[in-house]
Homo-oligomer: A and B are copies of this chain.
Amino acid sequence: MINVAVMGYGTVGSGVVEVLERNREAIAKRAGEEICVKYVLDLRDFLGNPIQEKVVHDFEVVVGDPEVAIVVETMGGIEPAYTFVKRSLLAGKSVATSNKALVEKHGTELLAIAREKNINFLFEASVGGGIPILRPLQTSLTADVIEEIGGILNGTTNYMLTKMYNEGVDYDTVLKEAQDKGYAERNPEADVEGYDTGRKIAILCSLVTGKKTDFEDIYTEGITKVGKEDMAYAKELGMNIKLIATAKRHGDKMCVMVAPVLMGSGHPLYAVNDVFNAVFVRGNMLGEAMFYGSGAGKLPTASAVVADVVEAAKNPSSSMMGTWTDEKVELQPLDEVCRRFFVRMSGDARERRAAVEAAFGPVTLVEVEGLGGEFGFLTEEMAEGAYAKCEAEVPGILHRLRIEG
């Protein structure tokens, strides 16, 4: 029997207990022995809940019990999660976590401690929720040089964009509805500004390059400025707007960013809707692959955490999970990144075309019936720096989106 302590009995933590309970037999078969929750660490008591007798309030009970082999961290946030995880690892306990903020900020150090102690620090659930991606990257995509990784990594914003696309409603309306349904937080900043997505792509980029990628260094643009007018243009173009993260090799550097982009129906991410997530990978031999599933939610996320627990139970003394050093990844300066842009501009398309093309070069115009006083255009491929210069020179630009693929 392997004893586990679950730190944080919130949505994911209670999901972990539920998954371990409901699939007890199947999990025991795969892990090689039964996995038993010995403690639940939480500030609350959960009186009347069957978990009640396992609840402890003092982390010292968990870390001081030599019978606890694996610690699950599902508290979220940096502190006290960081201190508890670090001390658990130093005490020789493997850790499985769903906490992307912790992994992004302190993963380098925590991985080093796990390696040093010859135990596991696993975090499959921190990216893509229930979608298996980190372990497949480390154990299945081993014949390839990964040239690009990214995708739709945030369910809240994908739900909002899908709703805006399907129903033509504006951002504020859809945000309020997402909040009412519990899909978006009262303070939605981490989701809608792309910070959550940014932390996840930082983790993916660190794993793929083996070098530390800091969230703070990544260009991150959220969906707060995406309006129903943008969606109308997208439909007119036969395209969709998705908040995507990408980490792409460019020589020795990585081009990493988070932004809402226009994409055509040929792109594998085009049809990923609602709260679903998808991670897109391009290998130099494999070509394109995509991993699709529930990027969040209690049981899907808990399923990924428990899979890490099974892994740690089966291989207690080997760190299968990839790792990265504290050497920082070299990022391609944003100004140098080349792509096509979509621009919305006030005025009349025919009157302004010459001025637009004088600045941006040849463009393709697009107009939407019912959207008066403005028009859209698509540029040819140009560097972000060159685009920014044009944008500063030409008046009347209402919004711009990047075009993917």
Contacts and interface: CB of A to CB of B under 8 A. Distances in A.
Given A136-B140, A292-B290, A307-B140, A19 B285 contact: yes
Contact of A19 (B27, B143, B304): B143
A22 interface: yes
Interface centre among A22, A30, A145, A287 (most CB of B within 10 A): A287
A334 to B, nearest CB: 27
A56 interface: no
Contact of A271 (B27, B271, B291): B271
A127 interface: no
A143 B96 CA distance: 13
Interface stretch (A2-10, A79-87, A295-303, A380-388): A295-303
B290 A130 contact: no
A303 B132 CA distance: 19
Interface of A: 19, 22-23, 26-27, 30-31, 124, 130-132, 135-136, 139-145, 268, 270-271, 283-294, 297, 299-300, 302-307, 309-311
Contact of A136 (B30, B135, B310): B135
A125 to B, nearest CB: 10
Given A287-B293, A294-B289, A23 B271 contact: no
Contact of A299 (B130, B286, B289, B310): B286
Contacts of A143: 19, 23, 27, 302-307, 309-310
A300 B285 CA distance: 6
Contacts of A292: 268, 289-292
B300 A293 contact: no
B311 A285 contact: no
A36 B312 CA distance: 32
A136 B281 CA distance: 15
A335 to B, nearest CB: 30
A284, A285, A291, A311 — most chain B CB neighbours (10 Å): A285
A43 to B, nearest CB: 26
Contacts of A19: 143, 285
Contact of A135 (B22, B26, B140, B287): B140
Given A26-B145, A290-B290, 5 more contacts: A19-B143, A142-B310, A142-B311, A286-B303, A289-B293
B271 A287 contact: no
Given A285-B302, A288-B294, A136 B142 contact: no
A308 to B, nearest CB: 9
A141 B132 contact: yes
A130 B141 CA distance: 9
Contacts of A270: 271
A120 to B, nearest CB: 13
A263 B392 CA distance: 49
26 contacts: A22-B285, A23-B143, A26-B145, A27-B143, A30-B142, A130-B287, A132-B136, A132-B289, A135-B140, A139-B311, A141-B303, A141-B307, A143-B302, A268-B292, A270-B271, A286-B300, A286-B303, A286-B304, A287-B294, A287-B299, A288-B294, A289-B291, A289-B293, A289-B294, A290-B290, A291-B292
A19 B299 CA distance: 38
Nearest to A16: B143
Closest 9 CB pairs of A and B: A132-B140, A143-B306, A289-B293, A285-B303, A290-B292, A271-B271, A142-B310, A286-B303, A143-B303
Contacts of A303: 141, 143-144, 283, 285-286
Contact of A286 (B140, B144, B293): B293
Contacts of A26: 144-145
A130 B300 contact: no
